[in-house]
Amino acid sequence: MAQRIVRRGSTVLVRYPFTDLCNTKVRPAVVLTPDHLMRRLDDVLCLFVSSSIPAELLPTDFTLEPGHSSFPGAGLKYRSVFRTHKLALLDKSPVLACFGGTGSRYNE
């Protein structure tokens, strides 16, 4: 069952915008906004997550593998890539679900 408590490092389901800003797609993202600012801000900074791993990762990409100790708590179903060059500042009210967290190593 999805949680609604959103904290830094939470894996959330959001309507992530395409780069042309004309459309969105529901997808997982990781919240990067610090906890102490969460109540004061209407927006959250989100990091794009995808299970579609490119053949060649960028130096700014990193993956979370099913065997990693943080994987079960992240709420992801498959090996995923975190695309650190794909950030979005989104209104936090339309967070559709919060289903995990990435653990302390990925919050730094």
Residue 12: C-alpha distances to residues 4, 8, 46, 55, 58 (Å): 9, 10, 9, 25, 23
Query: Quick count: other Cβ atoms within 10 Å of Cβ 33?
Result: 20
Does the pTM of the predicted model rise above 0.85? no
Quote the Cα angle for 50-74-13, to 5°.
55
The number of CA neighbours under 13 Å toward the Cβ of 87 is: 10
DSSP lists the bridge partners of residue 89 as: 45
Measuring CA to CA, which residue among 68, 83, 93 is closest to residue 30?
Answer: 83
Query: Which residue segments constitute the domains of the chain, with CATH numbers given?
Result: 10-101 (2.30.30.110)
Question: pLDDT tens, 89-103?
Answer: 988 777 787 877 765
Which pLDDT tens digit goes with each residue over 6-32? 889 889 988 888 878 788 888 899 999
